[in-house]
């Protein structure tokens, strides 16, 4: 079977689906129209389908075998105003598919159609997981908790993410740790207010906050293993209400991203201790709140090998590129904590066409030629997995 010929048969339909979804972007756990499109499309293919985790959808295609492989696509958009001059630009003010989830969803729908057309030859089952809220609180964990990996039990899982830094015709793979973990924190620094002319009567929350910001830099420079990346960012800081009044309160928020899952608690505790001790040394106090984010995404070697071996004959060895890990986060990580799998990158850039804007940019777009590449790699990987003896 020529998988690219099969992909080309549905390519136009999948592009139209992508554009339809792109025009009406929906935020996390609000993907009602998108999930309706997905649900109806899968049902019309004769695939067993159900709703899960509010706006999530899962379809199950049953073949002739006991093994089950899943493919995941995320559906949510971002609160960004689109600035692209294209006929399918977002029709919803302040919302945009600036991360390519419309592409992921459309490719998975096309994959479902191609595999449904050969269901009699499938040596196992395929689950199509359409996940909400990847960009916000995370839809992967609620789907897992509601049983998306059961009945039938999923034995392996794959997923993709478009990447404009890779050109159309290329894919990127990463062995082992591929995305960082994430921990968010909020700090309230409490001092004592006074007039600026009488600083000796105050406990200056702004000065305390400034010292905390400086001290927190030592977590990365002196407390973390230099061979294992960690990023600590203070992203917001707000305090004071008049130029001549010493502030009694400052609010700050930040995020920690790292590659050592087992050290997360230790690093967060260290950050809290630095904040607390710095404030106490200067006569103030701190309230510290941690919000646990996504875990580190760790690709399994066997499934990454499978994608690599599948893509070589399709794209050529020079177009299957080992890419470095990123300090970005991805809640596909939760699936990989439960099931062997791999998450790869699909090249969607085209410098000659000027398609080179990064994800989360208000002019982000893709070269739609990448869609048939994603279809071919998805379908071929599924077939190779189900036909293997492992």
> Is position 368 annotated as part of the catalytic site?
yes
**101 known ligand binder:** yes
Non-local (6+) Cβ contacts of 295 within 8 A are 181, 261, 333, 334, 337
Interatomic CA distance for residues 387 and 373, integer angstroms = 21
**99 known ligand binder:** yes
**378 known ligand binder:** no
Cis status, amide bond into 15, omega within 30 of 0: no
β-strand partners of 58: 50, 129
**300 known ligand binder:** no
Catalytic residue among 6, 26, 31, 368: 368
| Backbone phi, psi, residue 267, to 5° | -65, -45
Burial class (CB in 10 A: 0-12, 13-18, 19+), 328: middle
Radius of gyration, CA atoms only, the chain: 24
DSSP assignments along 154-219, one per residue: P-EEEEEEEEEEEETT-EEE--EEEE-EEEEEEEEEE-B-EETT-GGG-B-HHHHHHHHHHHHHHI
Catalytic residue among 179, 294, 344, 385: 294
Interatomic CA distance for residues 382 and 341, integer angstroms = 12
How many other C-beta atoms are found inside a 10 Å radius of the C-beta of residue 41? 22
Classify residue 316 as left (phi > 0), alpha (psi -120 to 50) or beta.
left
| Backbone phi, psi, residue 176, to 5° | 70, -135
Non-local (6+) Cβ contacts of 131 within 8 A are 53, 56, 72, 73, 74, 75, 139, 140, 143, 331
**161 known ligand binder:** yes
DSSP assignments along 1-51, one per residue: --HHHHHHHHHHHHHHHHHHHHHS---TT--HHHHHHHHHHHHHTT-EEEE
Non-local (6+) Cβ contacts of 379 within 8 A are 3, 6, 7, 111, 114, 115
Binding site residue list: 99, 101, 135, 161, 360
Binding site residue list for Mn(2+): 99, 101, 135, 161, 360
Catalytic residue ranges: 294, 368
């Amino acid at each position: 079977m020529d998988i690219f010929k099969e992909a080309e048969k549905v390519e136009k339909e999948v592009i139209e689906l992508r554009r339809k979804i792109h025009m009406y972007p929906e935020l996390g756990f609000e993907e009602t129209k998108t999930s309706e499109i997905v649900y109806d499309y899968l049902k019309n293919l004769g695939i067993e389908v159900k709703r899960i985790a509010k706006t999530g959808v899962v379809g199950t295609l049953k073949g002739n075998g006991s093994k089950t492989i899943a493919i995941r696509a995320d559906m949510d958009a971002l609160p960004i105003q689109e600035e692209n001059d294209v006929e399918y630009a977002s029709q919803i003010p302040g919302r945009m598919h600036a991360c390519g989830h419309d592409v992921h969803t459309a490719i998975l729908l096309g994959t479902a159609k191609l595999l449904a057309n050969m269901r009699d030859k499938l040596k196992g089952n395929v689950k199509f997981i359409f996940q909400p809220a990847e960009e916000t609180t995370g839809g992967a964990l609620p789907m897992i908790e509601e049983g998306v990996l059961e009945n039938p039990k999923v034995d392996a899982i794959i997923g993709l993410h478009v990447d404009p830094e890779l050109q159309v015709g290329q894919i990127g793979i990463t062995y082992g740790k591929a995305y960082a973990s994430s921990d968010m924190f909020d700090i309230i620094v409490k001092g004592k207010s006074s007039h600026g002319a009488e600083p000796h009567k105050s406990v200056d929350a702004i000065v305390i906050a400034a010292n905390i910001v400086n001290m927190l830099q030592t977590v990365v420079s002196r407390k973390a293993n230099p061979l294992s990346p960690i990023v600590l960012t203070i992203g917001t800081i707000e305090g004071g209400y008049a130029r001549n009044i010493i502030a009694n309160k400052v609010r700050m928020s930040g995020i920690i991203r790292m590659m050592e899952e087992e050290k997360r608690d230790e690093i967060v505790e260290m950050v809290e201790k630095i904040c607390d001790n710095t404030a106490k040394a200067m006569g103030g106090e701190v309230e510290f709140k941690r919000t646990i984010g996504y875990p580190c995404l760790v690709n399994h070697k066997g499934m990454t090998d499978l994608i690599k071996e599948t893509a070589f004959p399709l794209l050529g060895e020079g177009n299957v590129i080992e890419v470095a890990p990123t300090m970005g986060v991805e809640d596909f990580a939760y699936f990989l904590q439960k099931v062997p799998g791999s998450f790869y990158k699909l090249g969607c850039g085209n410098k000659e066409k000027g398609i080179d804007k990064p994800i989360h940019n208000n002019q982000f777009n893709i070269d739609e030629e990448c869609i048939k590449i994603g279809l071919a790699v998805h379908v071929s990987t599924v077939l190779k997995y189900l036909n293997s003896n492992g």
